[in-house]
Amino acid sequence: MKKTINWKFTLILLTVGFMTAVQYNSMKNPKERDTRDIWAVRHELAVEKQLHSELLSEIRELDKTIFTYKSLNDENTGKALTETVDKLYSQAGMTNIQGTGIIIKVKPSAESEAFGIPVTDVSPDLLTRFVNEINRFKGLILEIDGKRFTTLSSIRDINGITTVNGLNVSTPPVSMKIISPSFKDSEKLYSYLAASTIHDDFYIDNLILEVGKPERFVEIHGSPEMFENQFLKELPKGE
């Protein structure tokens, strides 16, 4: 009986010792070593902080909406719901928007025209890179070749053709419109894009990015597509 107890105790000690050794080795020699410099880490931290700030803003906006509903009586509830629906339609890009902004044109480069190089479409990767470039600024409303671009939009290659929301993007020249929250924001965006290296990315594909100066009035049309309601159903009156 005593030998059996000693054997079990020895087995437990071996198991604990093996697990401790494995944990120590994994901590001492990690599989992947972080080789980023301090600026790369700071950049990633800044991106995470920006995301955190945007999430807090959305939470505050939702809390404000909830408070509005709770403070209203039955007579004004319908009006509040209508305003919320209109706001959601606007965020989803279903309504026309007017405001200050800039108009950008994508054209074939002069060299490609002089040498007779065939004009190619703007690649999905290049278009996505441009969208990521301007997303450094908050509150922008974007239209690409007459197609409203929102957080629900997609840029894809379908049968060799660049599409936005499943609709074909025209062969350059192509126009893109950007509306900013204010004229000052439009000026900042113009200055940023004028000095951005995104021009080099377009030039490699024999395209040039012509950034127009800020304008007081720019209009962006809403998306003609309507959302389909698949889950919500209207209850009969009285229920």
72 and 168 both lie in a single domain: no
192: buried, middle or exposed (CB in 10 Å: 19+, 13-18, 0-12)? middle
Q: What is the DSSP letter of 79?
A: H
Q: Which of 222, 182, 178, 221 is nearest to 89 (CA)?
A: 222
* CATH number of the domain enclosing 178: 3.30.70.1880
* Domain assignment of residue 177, given as a range: 99-220
Position 72 scores a pLDDT of 64
Task: Answer whether residue 24 is part of any domain.
Answer: no
> 203 and 170, same structural domain?
yes
Residues 82, 109, single domain; the answer is no
| Claim to verify: residue 152 and residue 178 sit in the same structural domain | yes
Instruction: Specify whether 131 is located in the same domain as 53.
Output: no
Within-domain flag for 233: no
Q: Which of 176, 169, 161, 167 is nearest to 209 (CA)?
A: 176
Predicted pLDDT of residue 57: 73
Is 209 domain-assigned?
yes
Contact indicator for 218, 102 with CB cutoff of 8 Å: yes
Same domain, residue pair 121 and 189: yes
Residue 42: pLDDT above 90? no
Distance CA 239, CA 235 (A): 7
228, part of any domain: no
Are residues 106 and 79 part of one domain? no
What is the reported pLDDT for 29? 56
Name which residue leads in pLDDT, 136 or 51.
136
Query: What does the pLDDT average to over 113-129?
Result: 85
Q: Assess whether 135 and 188 both reside in one domain.
A: yes
Q: Look at residue 105 and tell me whether its pLDDT is greater than 90.
A: yes
DSSP 82-119: HHHHHHHHHHTT-S-EEEEEEEEEEEE-HHHHHTTPPP
What is the pLDDT at residue 153?
81
In a domain, 192, yes or no: yes
Q: If you search the block for the tokens 């951005």, which residue do you land on?
A: 196
| Other residues' Cβ atoms within 10 Å of the Cβ of residue 160 | 6
Residues 48 and 139 in one domain: no
Kindly state whether residues 153 and 183 are assigned to the same domain: yes
Phi first, then psi: give them for residue 87, nearest 5 degrees: -65, -40
Q: Is 65's pLDDT higher than 80?
A: no
User: Which tokens belong to 84?
Assistant: 């919320």
Does residue 236 sit within a domain? no
What pLDDT was estimated at residue 178?
Answer: 93
Both 105 and 191 in one domain: the answer is yes
Q: How many domains does one find in the chain?
A: 2
pLDDT at 177 over 90: yes
In a domain, 113, yes or no: yes
Q: Is residue 174 one of the residues assigned to a domain? A: yes
Give the torsion sign (CA, 84, 90, 91, 97).
negative
Does residue 2 surpass a pLDDT of 50? no
Better-scored residue on pLDDT, 89 or 204: 204
Average pLDDT, the chain: 77
